[in-house]
Amino acid sequence: MLDSIRHRGPDDEGVYLAGQVGLGHRRLSIIDLGSGHQPLSNENGTVWIVFNGEIYNYRELRTYLLEKGHVLKTESDTEVIVHLYEEFGPQCVEKLRGMFAFAVWDQNTKTLLLARDRIGIKPLYYRMTDKSVIFGSEIKAILADPSVKREIAPEIIDRFLTFLYVPGEETLLKGIHKVPPGCYLLIRDGRSNMREYWDLEFSKPERTPSLKDAEDQLLTLLAESVNLHMIADVPVGVLLSGGVDSTAVLGFASESTSTALNTFTVGFSDSGVIDERPYARLAAQTFGSRHYEITISAKEFSDFLPRYVWHMEEPVCEPPAVAMYYVSKLARGHVKVLLSGEGGDEAFAGYSNYRNIVWLERLKGVLPPANKAAAAGISVADSWLDLSRAAKYGPLVKSRFPDYYYSRTSNPFRYSGNGLGSLYSNDFGESVDRERSTEPVRRLFSRVKDLAVLDQMLYIDTKTWLPDDLLIKADKMTMANSLELRVPLLDHKVLEFAASLPCHYKLKGFTTKYILKKVLSKRVPKQILERKKTGFPVPYESWLRKDFRNLIRSILTDRAARDRGYFDNTAIEKLLEHNSENGAYSKEVFSLVTLELWHRSFLGGSHMSLN
């Protein structure tokens, strides 16, 4: 199990075995380099822990524990958790400010505690049977146990192809689950109990702070969070995307150190996308960092795809993840910890679809739905606003907003009115349970159905899109290079503050991230602050149509792929042809490729060798 995740911790290895429990740990040394060996216990060896992550308020907690009479033998944040557990039991997680996945074994009560941080920055998987529970930071560690059968959960395939990632607790492998963000799992005497200890609340204060007061509070929070995320006994750098959030993180980080920081960015040899590097250079120049760049080609992208799938472990349509792998590899030659700007868009409403859907809902609210002209106007607006691409495949549905969030894609795998025919085979299509596929998101919607539309979207994205797509990508690709990524904009105090703000502080008119941009207006160069948001552009659409055309076809039409029985072979051929013409189905094609490579890597026998 430890060998399978060596890339997550090449610096040290430790094992604790006692009777019915075995704990193993691979260490990436960040804090207390000399004495932070794990597994680690309390003074008398009755409470043991293995821990992945960082606790940013551990010094404050350490002081509290010493005052309570605890004896701590290291300076590590890991030991703080052990003694907090002695004080508070499983509720110790509520005291922690940071990112974490850990297991605590309580020898006295014969209890195993598995806990994951509030946002899901660090992954934690487990498999439970009537004989044992096996857990790890990666699925590979669980699969290392020969008793674990590699069986696919076909019903989750439709969930993946609905969302292009896998939200919820289940994975594509039967019996292997994720501990949800903000939850802990208690196991004792063969019984288990999953408890949610944190949720993002959008309750508003009795008195709404003035915009100026809110700006002041936000500025203080951001500075504090970034300063805490700089805690390390090894070099720290910043991953620059050329956008507002990563530039802001660099600015705050530069104020937390007297030495020049290292910054890193990535570009592409293809000229078909916006080049982020000039903006990243501007940010680096503004804050005086030592800046490094890397350029990747179509060949490097395609060569890495099998390893991308192996490291990700769950199929995810995230082409930028490949770019993140290469820029992380560059950074690892200079630093051991990276800060990034992930999370600013989900906290402060930075995506254009937030603005677009809010305005569409307003439009629907003032135009009578029974009026045909009004309905036609809404349909035109929907297409113009580019909400979900579903307008290409059929008429506007009555409830576009929840449908959009049940499926961010047009999902041609399900809809037959797109000229392709049904992409699912008859047998597989009949076995698909739509309710099961969308259940995790529908369940979350039921919690926030009475909130404003913007807050609903921010909540759903924070609970699904962030942990199951963006953060899993960030963790797996950086840890593949033995590098720790930290996300100060996802500090739970920052998120809670953002959630408490009225919607018009986040989205004002057509301006996204309104309050954040106000706060940063004198801290981020104007060219970056006012540029159009581009995300993390990767020229994979043109690569799929041109450079990878033959490779993609060979993967999706070979006998192994056809024999799986999920898809109609003729429809797949049509999909490839349509995509070659105009790139209209690039996300779907890339998702099918990752799904097939996932089958080959995880169901085709032993794991791929990375040597």
Torsion from C-alpha of 606, 607, 610, 611, nearest 10 degrees: -20
Q: What residue type is 79 in one-letter code?
A: E
Q: Pick from 144, 168, 196: which residue ends a domain?
A: 196
The verdict on residue 232 lying in a domain is: yes
- Alpha carbons within 13 angstroms on the beta-carbon side of residue 42 total 18
The answer, as to whether pTM is greater than 0.85, is: yes
- Is residue 593 assigned to a domain? no
Residues 241 and 416: their CA atoms lie apart, in Å, by 38
The enclosing H or E element of 307 equals helix 298-312
Task: Say if residue 75 is in the same domain as residue 216.
Answer: no
Can you tell me the distance from the alpha carbon of 117 to that of 52, in angstroms, rounded to the nearest whole number? 10
**Are 461 and 165 contacting, i.e. CB atoms less than 8 angstroms apart?**
no
Element (H, E) at 133: strand 133-136
CA 292 to chain centre: 25
* DSSP structure class, residue 152: B
Which residues is 141 bridged to in the sheet?
Answer: none
Residue 167 inside a domain? The answer is yes
Residues 94 and 220 reside in one and the same domain: no
Q: Are residues 188 and 223 in the same domain?
A: no
132 plus 277 within the same structural domain: no
Query: What is the block-wise mean pLDDT of the chain (611 residues), using blocks of 10 residues?
Result: 96 94 94 84 96 96 96 93 97 98 97 98 96 96 94 90 92 97 95 97 88 97 97 92 95 93 90 82 96 93 94 92 94 96 95 87 68 48 42 34 53 52 84 85 91 94 95 97 97 97 95 96 93 74 87 92 91 88 86 95 57 29
What's the rounded Cα separation, in Å, for the pair 150 and 602? 7
21 and 139 together in one domain: yes
Are 190 and 217 members of one domain? no
Give pLDDT, residue 444: 93
The pLDDT, as a whole number, for residue 392 is: 31
416 in a structural domain: no
CATH classification at residue 68: 3.60.20.10
Residue 62 located in a structural domain = yes
- 324: three-class secondary structure by DSSP: helix
Domain end residue (candidates: 529, 550, 569): 529
Q: Domain of 502: which CATH number?
A: 3.40.50.620
Q: Which of 164, 196, 228 is the last residue of a domain?
A: 196
Q: In the prediction, which pLDDT does 419 show?
A: 56
Q: The dihedral of CA 35, 38, 42, 46: what is its sign?
A: negative
**Same-domain pairing of 217 and 157:** no
**pLDDT recorded at residue 488:** 98
Q: Is the residue at 406 inside a domain? A: no
For residue 69, tell me if it sits in a domain: yes
CA 393 to chain centre: 29
Burial 201-226 (b: 16+ CB within 10 A, else e): ebeeeeeeeebeebbeebeebbebbb
Q: Are residues 192 and 216 in the same domain?
A: no
CA atoms 532, 533, 539, 542: torsion sign: negative
Residues 296 and 174 in one domain: no
Q: Work out how many domains the chain is built from and give that number.
A: 2
- Mapping DSSP onto H, E and C, the string for 442-503 reads HHHHHHHCCCCHHHHHHHHHHHHHHHHHHHHHHHHHHHCCCCEEECHHHCHHHHHHHHHCCH
**Are 231 and 180 part of one and the same domain?**
no
In this structure, which amino acid lies at residue 484? E
Residue pair 515/215 in contact (Cβ under 8 Å)? The answer is: yes
* Amino acid in position 53: G
Domain that holds residue 172: 3-196
User: Six-digit token pair at 390?
Assistant: 């579903």
Per-residue model confidence (pLDDT) at position 539: 83
One domain for residues 86 and 9: yes
Does any domain span residue 298?
yes
Query: For 370, which DSSP code?
Result: T
187 and 322 part of one domain:
no
What b/e sequence results for 381-401 when a residue is b if at least 16 CB atoms lie within 10 Å of its CB, and e otherwise? bbeebebbbbbebeebeeebb
